[in-house]
């Protein structure tokens, strides 16, 4: 067990290293002076010279990477010239809204998608099944910002039920927080629901074909228990896997959703940084998001041990 965990963690390290190299190369392989790009359009010659000396830009590229990577390991993502502060501080400040949005989205998605998927698999080929499959194609196709505007139009402008946009900190009360996050999370959860329900359906259908299901039914177990304890439990690994893989979709969705709903999170920060061509911040956000993505999928890998006792590495 411990050796399994150690090996999974060890396998994630080279991936993160490649990510770091790619983010590093992003600037070096661009025509133009990296120091000038990093300093921003308004920088003075002295500022550019200082950055050049700091990053060792006159030295070989491997040394440059060493310097940059050393900073990275100490959590130093550089200085944002646009926001005039450390990128790591900036990311810390923007974390809460994004984390809230992501957590609520995943909660909604799992609570809706898993039961739907199980029911569709149970009545395989029935109306619910066909409706769910049609919905999932639709869910993959309707762009998140189009859906966002349809929901704003219906629930905020027409019905006046929820605020149009903005964010309230959790510290200022749970209800305003939830009120502002509800529409964005529903928007963002649609594609996730499509993904998770599809995989849940497929893996539960597969599990339902197994001998132990027939045995469970023959024992006279109630159907709900057969579905949840026997079929769903055995279908858990692919479901958890797709939740992990879907985090990439979620991160992409966060960038768009936060822009539409004016939520001051990491997604909004990404777009603002790109518009300002604030490269230290762009690099920092990409590294942060990729790190989270790899970490989530590492946790998913580790959860297999709990979910499926047969898995012994």
Partner 1 sequence: MLRSRVLANWSVRIGAGILALLVVVAIAAPWLGTVDPSLFDAGSRDLLPGATGEITTLEGETLRHRFLMGSDSFGRDIYSRVIYGTRVSLVVGVATALLALAFGILCGLGAGYLRRLDGPLMRFMDGVMAIPAILIAIALVALWRGSILTVVIAIAVPEIPRVTRLVRSLVLSIREEPYVEAAVALGTPTTKILFGHILPNCIAPLLVQGTFTCAFAILVEAILSFLGVGLPPDIPTWGNIMAEGRVQFVSYPHNVFFPGLFLAVTVLAVNILGDGLRDTLDPKLAKRV
Three-state secondary structure call for residue 82: coil
By CB under 8 A, residue 309 contacts partner 1: no
Binding mask 17-46 for partner 1 (x = CB under 8 A): xxx-xxx--xx--x----------------
By CB under 8 A, residue 155 contacts partner 1: no
Choosing from 13, 63, 85, 138, the residue that interacts with partner 1 (CB under 8 A) is 138
Q: Which is nearer to partner 1, 2 or 275 (CB)?
A: 275
Using the rule CB under 8 A, give the single segment among 99-107, 150-158, 180-188, 209-217 that binds partner 1: 150-158
Note every long-range contact of 281-284, with CB atoms under 8 Å and residues 24 or more positions apart, other chains counting. 281/80, 281/82, 281/83, 281/87, 281/90, 283/23, 283/26, 283/27, 283/77, 283/78, 283/87, 284/77, 284/78, 284/80, 284/87, 284/88, 284/90, 284/91
Kindly identify the residues of this chain, within the stretch 53-82, that bind partner 1 according to CB under 8 A: none
By CB under 8 A, residue 202 contacts partner 1: yes
Measured on CA atoms in the order 129, 107, 183, 288, is the torsion positive or negative? negative
Kindly identify the residues of this chain, within the stretch 263-292, that bind partner 1 according to CB under 8 A: 270-271, 274-275, 277, 279, 282, 285-286, 289-290
Distance of alpha carbon 307 from alpha carbon 303, whole angstroms: 6
Using the rule CB under 8 A, give the single segment among 15-23, 48-56, 63-71, 300-308 that binds partner 1: 15-23
Element (H, E) at 85: strand 85-86
Distance of alpha carbon 107 from alpha carbon 26, whole angstroms: 35
Kindly identify the residues of this chain, within the stretch 163-182, that bind partner 1 according to CB under 8 A: 164
Distance of alpha carbon 313 from alpha carbon 235, whole angstroms: 19
Choosing from 61, 150, 161, 233, the residue that interacts with partner 1 (CB under 8 A) is 150
User: Using an 8 Å Cβ cutoff, are 301 and 6 in contact?
Assistant: no
Q: Residue count at the site for partner 1 (CB under 8 A)?
A: 51
Distance of alpha carbon 125 from alpha carbon 152, whole angstroms: 34
Q: Which is nearer to partner 1, 99 or 249 (CB)?
A: 249
Residue 283 CB-half CA count within 13 A = 26
* Residues in contact with partner 1 by the rule CB under 8 A: 14-19, 21-23, 26-27, 30, 137-138, 140-146, 149-150, 152-153, 157, 164, 198-199, 202, 248-249, 251-252, 255-256, 259-260, 270-271, 274-275, 277, 279, 282, 285-286, 289-290, 293-294
């Amino acid at each position: 067990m411990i050796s399994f965990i150690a090996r999974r963690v060890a396998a994630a390290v080279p991936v993160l290293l490649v990510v770091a190299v790619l983010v590093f190369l992003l600037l070096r392989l661009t025509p133009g002076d990296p120091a000038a790009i990093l300093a921003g359009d308004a920088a003075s010659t002295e500022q550019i010279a200082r950055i050049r000396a700091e990053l060792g830009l006159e030295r070989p590229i491997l040394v440059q990477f060493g310097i940059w990577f050393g900073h990275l390991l100490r959590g130093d993502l550089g200085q944002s010239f646009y926001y005039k502060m450390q990128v790591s501080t900036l990311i810390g400040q923007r974390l809460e809204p994004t984390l809230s949005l992501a957590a609520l989205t995943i909660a909604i998605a799992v609570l809706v998608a898993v039961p739907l998927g199980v029911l569709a698999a149970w009545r395989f080929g029935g109306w619910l099944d066909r409706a769910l499959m049609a919905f999932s194609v639709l869910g993959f196709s309707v762009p998140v910002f189009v859906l966002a505007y349809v929901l704003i139009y219906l629930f905020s402008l027409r019905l006046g039920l929820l605020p149009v946009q903005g964010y309230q900190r959790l510290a200022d009360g749970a209800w305003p927080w939830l009120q502002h996050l509800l529409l964005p999370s529903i928007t963002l959860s649609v594609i996730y629901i499509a993904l998770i329900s599809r995989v849940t359906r497929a893996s539960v259908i597969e599990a339902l074909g197994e001998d132990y299901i027939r045995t469970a039914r023959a024992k006279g177990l109630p159907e709900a228990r057969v579905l949840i304890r026997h079929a769903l439990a055995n279908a858990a690994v692919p479901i958890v896997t797709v939740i992990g893989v879907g985090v990439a979709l979620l991160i992409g969705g966060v960038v768009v959703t936060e822009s539409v709903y004016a939520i001051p999170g990491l997604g909004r920060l990404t777009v603002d940084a790109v518009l300002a061509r604030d490269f230290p911040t762009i690099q920092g956000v990409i590294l942060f998001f990729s790190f989270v993505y790899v970490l989530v999928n590492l946790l998913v890998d580790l959860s297999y041990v709990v979910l499926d006792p047969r898995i012994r590495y």
